[in-house]
Amino acid sequence: MNTPISVRRVTFCIPPKGALEQTGPEDPLFYYYRPFVGYLYRARIRNALSLIIPPYDSILELGYGSGILLPTLASIGKTVCGIDIESDPESVQRHLEKLGVRASLQRCDLRNTAYPDESFDLIVGISIFEHISDLEPALSEVHRLLKASGHFLVGMPRVDPLMGKLFSLIGYPEIKEHHVTTYRQFLDAARRCFTLIKFSKTPPFVPSFAALYFNMLLHKRNRNSK
């Protein structure tokens, strides 16, 4: 007789202020703890996590940065891994270990990882894909790494001149040079090998054209299916 697997909603377990270390000038870590902007940063994560229902056997986070999401992912996954093209994995791991969190981290490019095929049943990419102009190599690698019927959680900000002005107000004056892909462009590229199954936006009560952030849960499917 199989033992039923209990599922539960996910709570964003933000580490105490000072527990993690900013990894570079582009790392938004300290914004999570600011009075108003911090609320928006935390809300987009909570909104994204509301789309998934754990537990998961294996989770991969893309662009883990300072590791702010990893304690939450570790609470819902048996094995948690992360890749980042810039962050020092050893430094981030040391800070996480002080919080009692274990994660296997690597510094590598998403387009060329060393993980075997179908290694993960959940892959998470929050504020990653707006930075990528050529999505096909990255999406192909995600598809390869996901187990059959695995889930792919993606969060992306609004990308337009107005959002660029809002980012400049909080200290990112050249965001238009880094944010090059909209969530609609992402979905157009992803539909070749993924199916969108859930969608949410922040704030949740505004129409999509006025939203600041978009979250998408996608389902892996066969590349040849239509």
Sequence spans of domains, the chain: 29-52+68-123+141-159+171-220
pLDDT value of position 135: 96
Among 16, 9, 82, 78, residue whose Cα is nearest residue 48: 9
* 159 three-class SS: coil
pLDDT of residue 149: 85
CB-count burial class (<10 Å; 0-12, 13-18, 19+) for 210 = exposed
State how far the Cα of 186 lies from the Cα of 201, in Å rounded to an integer: 15
- What is the assigned CATH class of domain 29-52+68-123+141-159+171-220? alpha beta
What does the pLDDT read at residue 184? 95
Given a cut of 70, the residues of the chain with pLDDT beneath it are: 1-8, 161-177, 223-226
Token readout for 95 is: 């800070």
pLDDT tens for each residue of 165-223 = 666 666 666 666 678 899 999 999 999 999 999 999 988 888 888 888 999 999 998 76
Q: What is the pLDDT, as a whole number, of residue 2?
A: 32
Is the separation of the CB atoms in 93 and 155 below 8 Å? no
- The pLDDT, as a whole number, for residue 174 is 64
Contact, 190 vs 182, CB < 8 A? no
